[in-house]
Amino acid sequence: MARASKGLLLSLCLLSGLVVSLVSAPSMASSGNAPVDIRIGQEEGFGRLPRSSLSDVVSADRPAILIAWRNTARIRETELLIQNRAERAARARVGIQVLDADHRILAAEPSPQNPVLVDIPSASQGGRAGIVVKVPGRASTNSLFDQLDNAGQSYCIRAVIQPVGVADSNLADNSATKCYNNSARIDSAGNALFQYYLRNDSTRAVNARLVLTRSALPKGWWLEATPRQGSRVHLSPGSAMTGVIALHAPRRVAEGSSVDVRPTLLAKDGRVVDSSEYFATADHFAPTLSIATASPGQLISNDDSASSVSRSVYLNVIGGDAASGLAEAGGVFAEFSTDGGVTRNTRTLAYADGNFVGATRFETNLGPFPEGTKVTLNIVARDVVGNFVRTLPQQVTVPLRGQVSILHLEGHRNPASAVVALDSLDPKPSRTGETASAGLLALIAALTFVVWKRRRSVSRGLARHARPSDRVIVAASNGKSDTDDWNVAAARELAEVERE
């Protein structure tokens, strides 16, 4: 299913003409007592299917956060869109945190000793459209991302902005979280379970309320959440709450159907204590590759030199995934060997440009290698739910004398590529001699039904162990809730938080 996408932050940068570099600077002079309204921008469909907002207060769109470079060939930068909806310019501190699956902080940038500030113009002077802020990275954080991606471990990026010397009229959008390696593929009559953690990493205890936002449920899908929408939570310093979200698909699922869910803890003053996100989709098709070439090394990072690139192999790959999008977290990587395949290495290709849905370009240098080295290599591209395509191994000799195409495909390999809907099976043979085929179809149907029942049992078991007051069940018909108006509930809970 093709997706509409507004493009990445680099495109936003070109539209607004505003890219700022972060520098330490003195506080900006105050002009009056009017509060500002700065926020981390929300980009509809950013790196994923377009989302529908469930509340006028909290958008269900993904945060406009992008990790621009992801491997040791380049020091990665984190780009984010910051907006100002007030008619007053503002200055803000910007911070980035890397969280593990339990939402413990693994790394933070910048260091507390070297705070970085950014100036945001007023709404009418460009603040409403927003500016793209680039937060510099470090080699140690690069290595951390590589380790997490190679191990397939879930992690999140949290961006936080704090106005300097002035109050903010809405604290709920000063923090945003984007998560990686935690999406799931869902099949006909299937289930997807998401266990999440929300942590209080401050030095004070907090009383908060759980707010759940999601995209519209496809027809026939239903959702269970424990704890329920609006549950009150008390967290001591460093402690965490855990919750479970269960998605259930009908007997027939349309290819490309998807759901985004975002649990958030809001403190009484409206600020975000912590948030997470989860994505499930019926996507059974591998990404596509249109270009994959190897050529003599090129100067693409500050670490490259003329002598090193002459003995390197430059890889240029263009691909996309129209259903769920290429994985931003190490979605395209090279597998290579210099000893005929006895030992193998991997290298994540750095993002260059594109939106991960349509044509998106990635690049890297392999090497340097000693002259005469024969390098056997291939490219792997995967989407956010694990479908992948792998090119056939090709051998090149260093130094390369020109460009070589390495786009030779072996066909995509998907763990669940042969999914049959229960109600699509016809046990009656249409012609004589097809009794064996009908029996096989019946066996497949029986096995699929057993798996479905077991998954339903697990989900219902989780729900039974929760108190009735902690559960909420949302069903969908034509994308609208039947048993609970999620949109109204979210707005009501947020309004109660603001009143308190």
Looking at the structure, tell me whether residues 346 and 491 fall in a common domain. Answer: no
Domain presence at residue 414: no
- Length of the chain as a residue count: 500
Looking at the structure, tell me whether residues 331 and 249 fall in a common domain. Answer: no
Res. 210: pLDDT tops 60: yes
Looking at the structure, tell me whether residues 21 and 166 fall in a common domain. Answer: yes
Supply the mean pLDDT for the chain.
Answer: 75
What pLDDT is recorded for position 323? 85
What pLDDT is recorded for position 466? 38
Structure token digits, residue 178: 């984007």
Res. 365: pLDDT tops 80: yes
Structure token digits, residue 356: 């991960």
Structure token digits, residue 29: 């002079």
Looking at the structure, tell me whether residues 384 and 429 fall in a common domain. Answer: no
Looking at the structure, tell me whether residues 33 and 169 fall in a common domain. Answer: yes
Looking at the structure, tell me whether residues 396 and 428 fall in a common domain. Answer: no
Put simply, whether the predicted model's pTM sits higher than 0.85 gets the answer no
Better pLDDT: 45 or 161:
161
How do residues 133-143 score in pLDDT, each as one tens digit?
888 778 788 78
Strand order in the sheet with 288-296: 350-353, 360-366, 313-320, 288-296, 404-405
> How many structural domains compose the chain?
3
**Quick check: 211 and 493 in contact, CB under 8 A?**
yes
pLDDT band at 308 (very low <50, low <70, confident <90, very high): confident
Domain presence at residue 272: no
- Which of 405, 432, 456 is the C-terminal boundary of a domain? 405
Domain presence at residue 332: yes
The 8-class DSSP code of residue 124 comes to G
Structure token digits, residue 76: 């990665």
Domain presence at residue 268: no
User: Which has the minimum average pLDDT: 146-150, 339-343, 467-471?
Assistant: 467-471
Better pLDDT: 351 or 37:
37
Looking at the structure, tell me whether residues 173 and 196 fall in a common domain. Answer: no
Looking at the structure, tell me whether residues 21 and 101 fall in a common domain. Answer: yes
Res. 399: pLDDT tops 90: yes
What pLDDT is recorded for position 307? 65
Domain presence at residue 1: yes
pLDDT cut 90: percent of the chain above it: 46
What pLDDT is recorded for position 119? 93
pLDDT band at 478 (very low <50, low <70, confident <90, very high): very low
The DSSP-derived string for 462-496 is HHHTS-GGG-EEEEEETTEESS--HHHHHHHHHHH
- Which of 181, 200, 223 is the C-terminal boundary of a domain? 181
Domain presence at residue 33: yes
**Quick check: 102 and 199 in contact, CB under 8 A?**
yes
- 3 state DSSP class of 466: coil
Res. 314: pLDDT tops 70: yes
In degrees rounded to 5, what are phi and psi of residue 35?
-75, 160
Q: Give the CATH number for residue 126.
A: 2.60.40.10
Looking at the structure, tell me whether residues 2 and 117 fall in a common domain. Answer: yes
Give CA–CA dist 159/92, Å, rounded: 12
Better pLDDT: 308 or 353:
353
pLDDT band at 22 (very low <50, low <70, confident <90, very high): very low
What pLDDT is recorded for position 354? 83
Report how far apart, in Å, the C-alpha atoms of 144 and of each of 37, 116, 141, 364 are.
33, 22, 5, 18
Looking at the structure, tell me whether residues 76 and 215 fall in a common domain. Answer: no
How do residues 85-134 score in pLDDT, each as one tens digit?
999 999 999 989 999 999 999 999 887 777 788 999 999 999 998 888 88
Domain that holds residue 457: 188-260+278-284+421-500
How do residues 229-278 score in pLDDT, each as one tens digit?
999 999 999 999 999 999 999 999 999 888 999 999 999 999 999 999 99
Give CA–CA dist 102/357, Å, rounded: 29
User: Which has the minimum average pLDDT: 103-112, 197-206, 310-319, 459-468?
Assistant: 459-468
Looking at the structure, tell me whether residues 293 and 394 fall in a common domain. Answer: yes
What pLDDT is recorded for position 410? 61
Better pLDDT: 256 or 227:
227
Counting runs of H as helices and runs of E as strands, what totals does the chain give?
A: 5, 33
pLDDT band at 439 (very low <50, low <70, confident <90, very high): low
Better pLDDT: 141 or 305:
141
Domain presence at residue 374: yes
- 3 state DSSP class of 463: helix
Q: Which of 50-54, 211-215, 305-309, 446-450 has the highest mean pLDDT?
A: 211-215
User: Which has the minimum average pLDDT: 10-24, 361-375, 412-426?
Assistant: 412-426
What pLDDT is recorded for position 294? 96
Q: Which of 403-407, 428-432, 493-497 has the highest mean pLDDT?
A: 403-407
Tokens 């090119």 -> residue? 391
User: Which has the minimum average pLDDT: 129-138, 217-226, 291-300?
Assistant: 129-138
Give CA–CA dist 209/470, Å, rounded: 13
Looking at the structure, tell me whether residues 68 and 169 fall in a common domain. Answer: yes
Domain presence at residue 105: yes
- Which of 380, 405, 430 is the C-terminal boundary of a domain? 405
How do residues 175-190 score in pLDDT, each as one tens digit?
999 998 889 999 999 9
pLDDT band at 163 (very low <50, low <70, confident <90, very high): very high
pLDDT band at 147 (very low <50, low <70, confident <90, very high): confident
Res. 427: pLDDT tops 50: no
